Structure 1
Amino acid sequence: MSAKLTWKIFVIGLRQVRRDGIMFMLVPAPVLMGFLLRFLLPALDAELTFALAPWYGLSDAVLVAMTPLYTAIICAFLILDERDEGTGVYHAATPAAERNYLAARLLLPMLWALAYSISIKAVFRLTPFEPIPVLGGSFLAALVGAVVTMLVASIADNKVEGLAVAKLMGIFMLGLPVPWFVDAPQQYFAGILPSFWVGRFLYAPSPRFFAAGLLVTAIWLGILGRIFLRKVGR
């Protein structure tokens, strides 16, 4: 794999994002969401007769988990655009080029999403910043983002379909708040969803929850990987 070629493909993608209104608007979306949650929830907490403070942890978990989701949708739209234009096939014409393409469309964006997620949590947090839980939760969320990119790009055949599929990704994220609302062991029925393990780890950080999140996400990536690669090379 060539780092130079990977970076070149990544930069080409950035230019496409800048030119596309929908993808470009998704870039600052986590910041807008952060402002909303950071200032609206405390204001409501001061006005309402019941306390919202116990739910601040969930608010921060939403920031950590949703930030990579926006990046994932951008990547999926970019892949679909390139598929429509035929440039995706060109970038992934050989096994070596395919690895560069995947690194540019999945690895580098998810590394960006990891850093973005940590930054959003640090700036807009309502609960204390604990480095290990935040880093672990953001890492799991970035992996979930890769799953979402593959899922949207595998199901949709074009960007119009991609928009419809992206709207359904909210269902995929329903596992995130389960630990706050459902007691164990019933909550583990949601364990098939990678987003559940992001929420579970952020709710009560533990190596076993992190490991479970890695395992479940790896299974999803393995299942979707073959489908995704066939679609990319089509």
Structure 2
Amino acid sequence: MNSMHREERIFNMKKIVLFLKGDIRSTIRDPLMLFVFTIPFLMYLLVTFGLPYVDQQIVQFSHFQLMDHRVFIVAMIMTMVPMMVGMLTGYLLLDEKDDGILQYMEVTPLKKAGYIWYRVSLPAFLSFMITMVMACILLFREPVHWSVLVAAVVVVSLLGPVITMYLASFAQNKVEGIAYTKLINLVMIAPVVTYLFDGWWTWIGYVIPLTWGVEAFIVAMNGNGSVNSMNVVILITGGVAVTLGWLYVLYLNFQRSVH
């Protein structure tokens, strides 16, 4: 029995390595995926040079300045990588859904559940690594609560698997996936609403996982001030709970869509 379990684990590891090699080849051939890896550097240029330049133009017509809201803008930028990674891995899963790979995996020791676990853990890992690089590039000269920032990166990295499952559960193919991708832009409104307005009704924005991550980033970038530990715990645990809740619901919907 132990020998069978060992052989099964070895087989699963070989399969995962094979899938990973295939994903690397797909990434190298996909210009859009390669573009994702350049985002941290492009965002550095945008924040360092783009925002001040735009403010110079705006000041001629208005007292409004984007740099006054720089922390919020950077916090929103931090969420771009997980969302884009989730979209791209979602497209990969849709291709595999069309090719019948999921049905094939059901008869292997890895099983469909193991393969899906790999498919949702990959965007989470990529999102975490690239977002951390972005944070270091954008904020290396600024006072930052790095422990809070790392926790915030963990929260937003979970958006990658959520976007992947969202596309895989609702779209039947990549063409539909591109159409559903456009709806993702609507969730960007939630943190903007909670940032601009005060009122009991803004709690609706916290149904969206993105809102928790953005607010956690804002707290982390308040490096010159003290941090309310309880507030941080609420933001991180709330963000993880809401994100995992959405991931579970979307996973169940995906399971129904492939049966």
Shorter-chain TM-score bucket reads 0.7 to 0.9
Greater Cα shift, 208-217 or 180-189: 180-189
Q: What does 1:26-175 align with in structure 2 at a 5 Å threshold?
A: 26-49=36-59, 50=63, 51-94=65-108, 96-125=110-139, 128-175=143-190
Give the deviation of 1:207 after TM superposition. 0.8
Structure 1: how far apart are the matches of 2:186 and 2:107?
Answer: 34
Structure 2: how far apart are the matches of 1:203 and 1:93?
Answer: 47
Match of 1:190 among 201, 205, 221: 205
**TM-score under structure 1 length normalisation:** 0.87
Q: Are the equivalent residues in 1 in contact too, given 2:36–2:84 (CA < 8 A)?
A: yes
Cα deviations by residue, 1:182-230 (Å, 9 ceiling, x for unpaired)? 2254421211111111122223361111111112112111211112234
Structure 1: how far apart are the matches of 2:160 and 2:113?
Answer: 18
Identity of counterpart residues, as a percentage?
A: 26
Q: Give the equivalent residue in structure 1 for 2:239.
A: 213
Change (3 A) 1:8 1:230: farther
Cα deviations by residue, 1:56-79 (Å, 9 ceiling, x for unpaired)? 111221222111111101100000
- Give the root-mean-square deviation of aligned CA atoms: 2.4
Q: Are the equivalent residues in 2 in contact too, given 1:10–1:105 (CA < 8 A)?
A: no
Given the alignment of the two structures, is residue 14 of structure 1 paired with residue 24 of structure 2, yes or no?
A: yes
Give the deviation of 1:34 after TM superposition. 4.0
Structure 2: how far apart are the matches of 1:6 and 1:98?
Answer: 12
Name the count of aligned residue pairs. Answer: 233
Change (3 A) 1:56 1:4: farther
Q: Read off the aligned partner of 1:140 and give its amino acid letter.
A: V
Q: Counterpart of 2:172 in 1: which secondary structure? A: coil
Q: Give the equivalent residue in structure 1 for 2:4.
A: none
Give the deviation of 1:7 after TM superposition. 2.9
Change (3 A) 1:215 1:95: farther
The structure whose Rg is larger is: 2
Change (3 A) 1:151 1:85: same
Greater Cα shift, 151-160 or 24-33: 24-33
Give the deviation of 1:154 after TM superposition. 0.8
Greater Cα shift, 158-167 or 18-27: 18-27
Q: Read off the aligned partner of 1:156 and give its amino acid letter.
A: A
Q: Counterpart of 1:157 in 2: which secondary structure? A: coil
Change (3 A) 1:183 1:203: farther
**TM-score under structure 2 length normalisation:** 0.79
Q: Read off the aligned partner of 1:149 and give its amino acid letter.
A: T
Cα deviations by residue, 1:151-189 (Å, 9 ceiling, x for unpaired)? 111111000111111121111232233332122544212
Q: Read off the aligned partner of 1:72 and give its amino acid letter.
A: G
Q: Which runs of 5+ in 2 are unaligned?
A: 1-8, 221-231
Give the deviation of 1:8 after TM superposition. 2.2
Q: Read off the aligned partner of 2:252 and give its amino acid letter.
A: R
Q: Are the equivalent residues in 1 in contact too, given 2:37–2:130 (CA < 8 A)?
A: no
Q: Are the equivalent residues in 2 in contact too, given 1:57–1:127 (CA < 8 A)?
A: no
Q: Read off the aligned partner of 1:213 and give its amino acid letter.
A: G
Q: Give the equivalent residue in structure 1 for 2:6.
A: none
Q: Counterpart of 2:189 in 1: which secondary structure? A: coil
